[in-house]
C-alpha cells in the first residue's frame, strides 16, 4: 500500500496563536501580549485567560504541556477521551490529533508549547519520549498530581514568565532549565504513582481497548486493517473486534475509520488542499470514495464541512 505523504501540522507562529487565543481579551501573562523582541523561537507559554474554549481536532509540530489549577474540560487525544479536573496535567505530542471542549466557566491553568529543538541543549534529539514516558503514545498523557507537585510546577512556570518579561542575561538557558525541571517534576509524579507499571491483569478488556486506541492513534495513516493491530496486540482480529464492540458498540474497523475521519477534518480545517488532493493524500482510490467515506463518518460532504468550519472560525475571530 502506498503510504500517505507528510500531513501538514501547525507550528509555533502568530498564525497558530490565532487558533487558540482570543486577541480581544487581555492577559499580562506569557506570550499573550508579549513584545516580539522578548519571544524565543520554538517556545510559548500562556495562561487560560484569553484561551478559546473549543479547539480542534488539530495536530501540531510541537509538544504541549498543560496544568489545570481550577475548573474542568474534556480532552481528546486520538480516540481517547478524558475528563480533566483541577490538579491534572496533560500532554500532547507532535503529530498527535487532539481537541478540547466542555471548558467550565471557572477554568484556570497554564499551558506551554515547545518544539523538541528548543530543549535539545539539555536532552538529546529524539530522546524526549524515552526520557519522559508521557511524551510518547504508549505512556499516560493525562494524570493527576498532588498539591505539592502542582505548586512546584506553578512556581517553575512563574519563574519562566519572570525571565521572559525581564530580559536578564542568560534568560534563554534559564527558561530551558526551568522547563526541564517542570518535565522532571512531572516525571517524578508519574513514577511516584507507578503509572508505567502494567496493570495487575493485562488481559482485561479495558486494557486491550486502551492499547488498541493508542496504537491506532499512532499508526492509522499506515495501518488500516484490524488484522494489523490484532497482530501487534497478539490477539485474533475476531477477538479484538468483539472486545471493542462490547465496550463501545463500534467495531475495531469503525475506530480506525474514526481516526481517519479526524485526520480528514484536520486537513479540511487547516489547509487549502482540495477534497481531491486530500483523498489522494490519505490513499483513497479516488475522490468520490473519500467523499462517500467522509459523509458516512460525519454526515457532511467535505465541502460542506469546510464551509461550516470556516464560518465558525470567522465568527470567533470577529469577536
**CATH number of the domain that residue 258 is part of:** 1.10.10.60
Which of these, 214, 299, 318, lies nearest to 261 by C-alpha position? 299
In tens, the pLDDT along 46-98 reads 999 999 888 888 888 899 999 999 999 999 999 999 999 999 999 999 989 99
Q: What is the mean pLDDT of residues 292-298?
A: 94
Residue 126, SS3 per DSSP: coil
147 and 24, same structural domain? yes
Distance in angstroms (rounded) separating the CA atoms of residues 89 and 254: 30
Q: What is the reported pLDDT for 21?
A: 86
311 and 185, same structural domain? no
Domain boundary among 166, 192, 218: 192
Compute the CA torsion angle 256, 260, 266, 267 (nearest 10 deg).
170
Q: What is the reported pLDDT for 61?
A: 87
Helix, strand, coil percent content, the chain, rounded in steps of 5: 50, 15, 35
Q: Is the pLDDT of residue 20 over 70?
A: yes
Answer whether residue 199 is part of any domain.
no
In tens, the pLDDT along 251-261 reads 999 999 999 99
125 and 225, same structural domain? no
29 and 176, same structural domain? yes
Distance in angstroms (rounded) separating the CA atoms of residues 2 and 143: 37
Q: What is the reported pLDDT for 5?
A: 46
Answer whether residue 9 is part of any domain.
no
85 and 61, same structural domain? yes
In tens, the pLDDT along 146-199 reads 999 999 999 999 999 999 999 899 999 999 999 999 999 999 999 999 998 777
Q: What Å distances lie between residue 24 and 50, 112, 174, 291, 314, CA to CA? A: 8, 21, 31, 37, 14
**What's the pTM?**
0.85
Residue 4 — very low, low, confident or very high, per pLDDT cuts 50/70/90?
very low
250 and 183, same structural domain? no
311 and 237, same structural domain? yes
Answer whether residue 214 is part of any domain.
yes
98 and 186, same structural domain? yes
Q: What is the reported pLDDT for 100?
A: 94
Domain boundary among 192, 216, 248: 192
> How wide is the angle at C-alpha 309 spanned by C-alphas 306 and 314, nearest 5°?
125
CATH number of the domain bearing residue 79: 2.60.120.280
Answer whether residue 4 is part of any domain.
no
In tens, the pLDDT along 98-146 reads 999 999 999 999 999 999 999 998 988 788 989 999 999 989 999 999 9
Q: What is the reported pLDDT for 318?
A: 56
* Domain total of the chain: 2
Q: Is the pLDDT of residue 316 over 80?
A: no
243 and 97, same structural domain? no
304 and 184, same structural domain? no
244 and 108, same structural domain? no
217 and 69, same structural domain? no
Domain boundary among 157, 192, 227: 192
Answer whether residue 125 is part of any domain.
yes
Q: What is the reported pLDDT for 60?
A: 87
Distance in angstroms (rounded) separating the CA atoms of residues 169 and 173: 9
Distance in angstroms (rounded) separating the CA atoms of residues 72 and 105: 9
Q: Which domain holds residue 311?
A: 205-317
Answer whether residue 200 is part of any domain.
no
Which of these, 132, 135, 130, lies nearest to 91 by C-alpha position? 135
Amino acid at each position: 500500500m502506498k503510504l500517505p505523504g507528510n500531513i501538514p501540522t501547525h507550528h509555533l507562529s502568530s498564525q497558530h496563536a490565532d487558533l487558540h487565543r482570543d486577541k480581544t481579551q487581555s492577559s499580562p501573562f506569557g506570550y499573550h501580549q508579549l513584545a516580539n523582541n522578548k519571544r524565543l523561537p520554538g517556545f510559548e507559554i500562556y495562561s487560560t485567560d484569553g484561551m478559546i474554549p473549543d479547539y480542534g481536532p488539530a495536530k501540531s509540530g510541537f509538544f504541549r504541556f498543560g496544568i489545570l489549577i481550577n475548573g474542568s474540560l474534556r480532552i481528546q487525544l486520538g480516540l481517547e477521551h478524558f475528563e480533566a479536573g483541577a490538579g491534572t496535567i496533560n500532554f500532547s505530542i507532535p503529530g498527535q490529533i487532539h481537541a478540547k471542549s466542555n471548558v467550565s466557566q471557572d477554568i484556570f491553568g497554564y499551558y506551554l508549547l515547545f518544539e523538541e529543538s528548543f530543549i535539545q541543549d539539555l536532552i538529546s534529539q529524539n530522546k524526549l519520549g524515552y526520557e519522559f514516558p508521557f511524551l510518547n503514545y504508549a505512556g499516560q498523557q493525562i494524570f493527576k498530581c498532588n498539591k505539592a507537585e502542582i505548586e512546584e510546577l506553578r512556581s517553575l512556570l512563574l519563574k519562566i514568565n519572570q525571565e521572559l518579561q525581564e530580559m536578564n542575561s542568560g534568560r534563554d538557558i534559564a527558561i530551558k532549565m526551568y522547563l526541564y525541571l517542570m518535565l522532571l517534576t512531572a516525571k517524578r509524579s508519574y513514577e511516584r504513582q507507578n503509572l508505567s507499571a502494567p496493570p495487575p491483569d493485562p488481559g482485561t478488556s479495558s486494557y486491550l481497548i486502551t492499547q488498541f486506541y493508542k496504537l491506532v492513534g499512532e499508526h492509522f495513516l499506515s495501518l488500516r486493517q484490524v488484522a494489523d493491530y490484532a497482530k501487534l496486540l497478539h490477539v485474533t482480529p475476531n477477538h479484538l473486534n468483539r472486545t471493542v464492540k462490547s465496550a463501545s458498540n463500534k467495531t475495531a474497523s469503525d475506530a480506525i475509520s474514526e481516526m481517519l475521519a479526524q485526520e480528514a477534518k484536520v486537513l479540511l480545517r487547516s489547509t487549502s488542499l482540495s477534497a481531491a488532493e486530500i483523498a489522494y493524500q490519505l490513499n483513497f482510490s479516488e475522490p468520490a470514495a473519500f467523499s462517500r467515506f467522509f459523509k458516512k463518518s460525519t454526515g457532511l460532504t467535505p465541502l460542506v464541512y469546510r464551509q461550516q468550519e470556516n464560518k465558525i472560525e470567522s465568527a470567533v475571530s470577529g469577536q
